Chains A and B, each alone.
Chain A
Amino acid sequence: MSEQTVKGAPARLAFQLYVGIGVAVFLLMMVAGAVLRMAQGAWIDIPANYFYQIMTLHGAGMVGTSGLAAAAVMWYFLRRHVDLSTGAFLTMLGLSLVGVVMILASIGIGGFAAAWTFLYPLPAKSAGLWGPHAAAGYVGGLIFIGVGFLVFYVDCAIAIIKRYGGLLRGLGIDQLLSGKIDTDHPPTVVASSMVIIINVIGIAVGAVVLVMTLVNLYVPSIAIDALLAKNMIFFFGHVFINATIYMAVTGVYEILPAYTGRPWKISRPFLAAWAAVTLVVMAVYPHHTLMDFVQPKWALVLGQVLSYLSGIPVLLVTIWGALANLHRSGVRWELPLRLIVFGLLGWSIGIIPAIIDGTIRVNYVMHNTLWVPGHFHLYLLLGLLPMLLGIMYFAATRANWQESVADRLMFWIYGVAGLVFCLFLLLGGSSSVPRRFAVHAQEWLMLTQIGAVAAVLVLLASLYLGIKLLRRLPHLQVGGA
């Protein structure tokens, strides 16, 4: 076990802020999610406008917080290898908080409810439900958050370029081409380089479509091609949310060896997989537009084929690598490790329904049903969130961890209830229940209500785990390069 040294009070405080704010917002957004599911289950009565406002808040809040928390994890581990600026890290948080305030005002005061995806031209055409200023507040808020992320990524990019001579070298492309593998090259640097490349491009595309939307709000005569806007939004959204898990996986590369005593070394397949994922993550987004028949045929074929291919590097390199690292390692199980391994499981199984829905013939009858949130809740609720919690627990408790029966109980409640919650979303999708409906038909209610019970149980377990983590925050340690 390599213990970290406390290096720099500002860095420690910065990471504590991220963890504290991240956990608090995650919990609040989970409350919102449980409320949505209970409203769909006809257990509580919420007017449709409020339902869709809460839905917009839940989506934007979860995606934004996932991004920030995962970026914090990447910062925490990348600074073991390169010099990162705490100022840039805090700038991302500051700009994001400004964005959050704008988004909260646009939803809470302005009544904005165009879903987190702000699909053009819905922000401008609410049929009187919200005005252009509310939409502009939301769009502007996202722009602030995006700029914050860019500041962070530029700092990370500069640090990697200074240390390794370029982002492609950080990614290990030179080693891949020459065949000379430097096994001391950190996996964290490989993953971080990939994330920087894809997310700078993704956020830049997102910023362009956000600015175009903003202009259209006040000058409606300057219209956007709806298909172009949809392509840009899904490109941005897909890249951004996928980058969250690739940022979090840096924690897996760093922490798992600390438990098992087996170093995680890079290899040629490892570098090849990350190089492939860099391209595939950016090219696969047309699987979100399979029901847009005016898309070029090649784009739809690409969407289906790459959906399938995108799962292979993940499963055969990171998941296989993690399981190989763990197998008969003599590890002592405790909550941080349980959460991280469970997160890897959620990530792995979440790939399956995504690939199946990425098949055009299936997409005809599954697109925009509950199958879609079923898949991404597997990915995020059972994959990313436990992974992030485990990593943050590791950072905050590794020095003197004492596990209680309640810890284990809450872990299992989270896992089992979370799995039930996701499975009933998938069952809803296979029963053709639409996603994003404020009111559910009688035929769908039983599935929805079981999902709502599971959501409440997940929330209760999350409250326990989240509050316990917050109480451990003063013990958090931060190392450095």
Chain B
Amino acid sequence: MQSFALTLSLVLMAAIVLIFGWVVLSASTREVPPAKPFRWRSPIFWILIVAGVIISVATLSPWPMSGHTASASEPDQVIQVTGQQWRWELSSDTVESGKEVEFQVTSNDVNHGFAIYRDKTKLITQTQAMPGFVNKLRVIFDEPGEYEVMCLEYCGLSHHAMSATIFVR
């Protein structure tokens, strides 16, 4: 997902740069009367709207947050997670690969971000840990191994050192 997001961003940004470059390079030349520059604007507007509808339906259906609303299926395992300056408390730190785990995430003090990393360069998923609320995050770990939990919501002095380990068998 990260690579896709980066590639798509770079392609679209490059397209905008090219359009700017084309206009800027020809700006010193004077054309009288000017061409009709807005004739394509209306069609492009409708193309963007139709594209937006398609993108919205494609990315929101099925609803991407499996733990967000009451689910018909029960998770295979439930783990209570509590964030507290500056440590994570997990009711269990061991899960089985291929099984659906529901993390019920909250905080004892300030806002934290419960983020699960495969290694330091691969964020798998995340949710916020908020005082007074429980966010339910469902995950299926495909590969056995050690996964690191980091905090992704700034929470004070040792925010960067707030970590834990999840062992996937």
| A residues whose Cβ falls under 8 Å from a Cβ of B | 48-49, 52, 113-115, 119, 121-122, 125-127, 129, 225-227, 230, 262, 269, 289, 291-294, 297, 300-301, 304-305, 308-309, 312, 316, 320, 323-324, 326-333, 341, 344-345, 348-349, 352-353, 356-357, 359-362, 364-369, 371, 426-427, 429-439, 441, 443-444
Contacts and interface: CB of A to CB of B under 8 A. Distances in A.
Contacts of A126: 156-157
Q: Which of the four size classes fits the interface of chain B?
A: 35 or more
Contacts of B110: 119, 121-122, 125
Nearest to A320: B41
Contact of A293 (B9, B60, B67, B115): B67
Nearest to B7: A430
A352 B9 contact: yes
A365 B127 CA distance: 10
B83 interface: no
Interface string B80-91: 000001100000
Contacts of A426: 6, 9
A121 B107 CA distance: 11
A360 B28 contact: no
Contacts of B69: 297
B96 interface: no
B164 to A, nearest CB: 15
A364 B161 CA distance: 21
B19 A323 contact: yes
B60 A364 contact: no
Interface in B128-159: 128, 130-137, 150-159
Contacts of B20: 323, 341, 344-345, 348
Contacts of A438: 159-160
Contacts of B115: 368, 434
Contacts of B12: 352
30 contacts: A48-B158, A119-B153, A122-B111, A125-B109, A225-B132, A262-B34, A269-B38, A292-B130, A293-B67, A293-B127, A294-B133, A294-B134, A300-B68, A304-B60, A305-B52, A320-B38, A323-B23, A324-B34, A327-B27, A329-B31, A330-B27, A348-B16, A349-B16, A353-B5, A356-B8, A366-B5, A427-B6, A430-B2, A436-B154, A443-B119
A121 B64 contact: no
The 3 closest A-B pairs by CB, nearest first: A330-B30, A324-B37, A328-B31
Contacts, number: 232
A52 B157 contact: yes
Nearest to B67: A293
Contacts of B72: none
Given A301-B60, A333-B28, A356-B5, A365 B125 contact: yes
B59 A360 contact: yes
Contacts of B37: 320, 323-324, 327
Contacts of B117: 432
Nearest to B26: A328
A122 B124 contact: no
B6 A430 contact: yes
Pick the most buried of B41, B117, B122, B151: most chain A CB atoms within 10 A of its CB. Answer: B41
Nearest to B155: A122
B165 interface: no
A127 B157 CA distance: 8
A430 B5 contact: yes
A348 B52 CA distance: 18
Contacts of A364: 1, 64, 125-126
Contact of A121 (B3, B131, B160): B131
A230 B111 contact: yes
B121 A432 contact: yes
